[in-house]
Structure 1
Amino acid sequence: MNLGLKGRTAIVTGASVGIGLAIAEGLAAEGTNLILAARGGERMAAECSRIAGTFGVTATPVAADVATEAGVAAIVDAAKAAGVDILVNNAGTGSGETVLDAPDAKWDQYWDLHVKAAVRLARGVHPLMKARGGGVILHNASICATQPLWYEPVYNVSKAALLMFSKTLSYEFIKDNIRVNTVNAGLILTPDWIKTAKQLTAASGGDYEAYLQKVADDFAPIRRFGTPEEAANLFVFLASARASYCVGSTYYVDGGMLRTI
């Protein structure tokens, strides 16, 4: 299927690993040029070099912390030079706390990373997309935005706020032919999941794979984790002209984890 993405330019944040890297590779495979942002500049530069060589596209690395004004400004500056048609807000991370023990600083940290980054980037790319006749903004939220896990209230709340921001933004931006949608992923086997599983099982023999299988058995009817590529496939489709009537919606890639309709 020709997705009509060849020659387009996409920003992907949190792009050096996991879902973000898989999205970058999926877009590159369609001929999309890339502006890839992550905090780790050396790693991002290496991945950009590899992607450009593999897929024959332009891949520009930006070392930036999207939770800061300066980080967002650096990404927008790169987009001003290259132009931008697609923005994938992917940067984010899980948490672990209770409401009673989480300090204000942690709430602020996750609000800046999951919500304010999306707000600032939307303001920054809007005039650039409008000048090109439109564009696409996709937010990587989480199933936890609607079906929270008890042990990460700060993550749950900030991702729910991102979901509402995405819906609200879609109303405002569609008049300029900029489509906004959200993807809520379930259990996707990223390096963070593996790292956490190894830490949790270190004292009991280190069978992290069995731990992960139990998580999948407990939460996902499909009884396995998804791959970053499986999540990325949905983002790539939603970024394309094939999804031209998709506006202001939330799409799940969760192996049946969502327990409501």
Structure 2
Amino acid sequence: MFLEGKHALITGSTSGIGLAIARALRAEGAEIILNGLGEADEIAKLQEELGARFNGANLLDADAIENMMAEIGPVDILVNNAGMQHVSPVEDFPVDKWNAIIALNLTAAFHTSRLAVPGMKASGWGRIINTASAHSLTASPFKSAYNASKHAIAGFTKTIALELAQSGVTANCISPGYVWTPLIEGQIPDTMAARGLSREEVINDVLLAKQPNKKFVQPEEVGALAVFLCREEAGNVTGANWSIDGGWTAE
């Protein structure tokens, strides 16, 4: 287990992609710090399963992020995975939703990264992995805030990769297509309303229509890619945006 002794913070890790990444890193020996939403008993079960710590900091609050990072101490692996979505035409897009999506999907990653980097640089090793999206490389209608945040996180990742290039710290994006997670399932009703489609039409004609292989990405596949990016063999992989989208962005 090549990650023994490494501490990994994964935001948005109480379900979906983040939980899959946490499990994959734990399987290689990493000490896990969970962060996310959920019922207390369910989170307690995850802590027991993974031997993990949990910090429920509200990532929309910069002060809460600072407190979390101070409380958990230095981390070797930072996975900025927490995210949210809202689907609406731009002229009707709620301002509070725009602000929240940018804050969670982008600004929170800035705060966690800026606070984690000094410790990584001091130790001469670190991995920053940002969960972006196929929407970091292409766009879909009615998702202005999400598209903007994911394009921005890709640019942010490249910037810090360049800044850290000689430090032993790498920074990369993983950009999944549609993964069957609570986030994707939760946006189906909004897409139905925005486009006037049935649930089945949204799944078949909107979601999987984007992926040429007609398969949802599995969370475990994303977890496996995150593990690879933590390996020593990936030490020269930095500033990259890894698509895992069934060929979506190849078109």
- The structure-2 alpha-carbon separation of the partners of 1:215 and 1:103, relative to structure 1 and needing over 3 Å to count, comes to closer
Contact 1:221 1:255 in 2 (8 A): yes
Residue 26 of structure 1 pairs with residue 38 of structure 2: no
What is the letter of the counterpart of residue 48 of structure 2? S
Distance in 2 separating the partners of 1:195 and 1:108 = 19
Partner of 1:183: 174
What is the letter of the counterpart of residue 49 of structure 1? E
Partner of 1:51: 50
- The structure-2 alpha-carbon separation of the partners of 1:198 and 1:109, relative to structure 1 and needing over 3 Å to count, comes to closer
Of 30, 33, 36, the residue aligned with 1:35 is 33
Contact 2:176 2:217 in 1 (8 A): no
State which drifts further: 71-80 or 151-160. Answer: 71-80
The aligned length equals: 246
Q: Identity over aligned residues, as a percent?
A: 32
- The structure-2 alpha-carbon separation of the partners of 1:150 and 1:62, relative to structure 1 and needing over 3 Å to count, comes to same
Partner of 2:156: 165
The two structures, once aligned, show a CA RMSD in angstroms of 2.3
- The structure-2 alpha-carbon separation of the partners of 1:181 and 1:120, relative to structure 1 and needing over 3 Å to count, comes to same
What is the letter of the counterpart of residue 180 of structure 2? L
Describe how 1:108-147 pairs up with structure 2 within 5 A.
Answer: 108-147=99-138
What is the letter of the counterpart of residue 14 of structure 1? G
Distance in 1 separating the partners of 2:177 and 2:38 = 25
What is the letter of the counterpart of residue 235 of structure 2? S
Partner of 1:204: none
Partner of 2:59: 66
Which segments of 5 or more consecutive residues in structure 2 lack a partner in the other structure?
193-197
Of 1, 7, 16, the residue aligned with 2:5 is 7
- The structure-2 alpha-carbon separation of the partners of 1:120 and 1:199, relative to structure 1 and needing over 3 Å to count, comes to closer
Partner of 2:195: none
Of 215, 224, 227, the residue aligned with 1:236 is 227
Which segments of 5 or more consecutive residues in structure 1 lack a partner in the other structure?
53-58, 202-206
Secondary structure of residue in 2 paired with 1:63: coil
Task: Give CA deviations for 1:186-206 in whole Å, capped at 9, x if unaligned.
Answer: 0111123334447878xxxxx
- The structure-2 alpha-carbon separation of the partners of 1:227 and 1:140, relative to structure 1 and needing over 3 Å to count, comes to same
- The structure-2 alpha-carbon separation of the partners of 1:198 and 1:95, relative to structure 1 and needing over 3 Å to count, comes to closer
- The structure-2 alpha-carbon separation of the partners of 1:218 and 1:110, relative to structure 1 and needing over 3 Å to count, comes to same
What is the letter of the counterpart of residue 38 of structure 1? G
Distance in 1 separating the partners of 2:186 and 2:102 = 24
TM-score normalised by length of structure 2: 0.89
What is the CA distance between 1:215 and its match in structure 2?
A: 4.1
Of 14, 17, 23, the residue aligned with 2:15 is 17
What is the CA distance between 1:178 and its match in structure 2?
A: 1.1
Task: Give CA deviations for 1:87-142 in whole Å, capped at 9, x if unaligned.
Answer: 00000012111221124333221221112111111111112112222201010011
Secondary structure of residue in 1 paired with 2:214: coil
What is the CA distance between 1:162 and its match in structure 2?
A: 1.0
What is the letter of the counterpart of residue 47 of structure 1? L
Of 83, 87, 103, the residue aligned with 2:78 is 87
What is the letter of the counterpart of residue 159 of structure 2? T
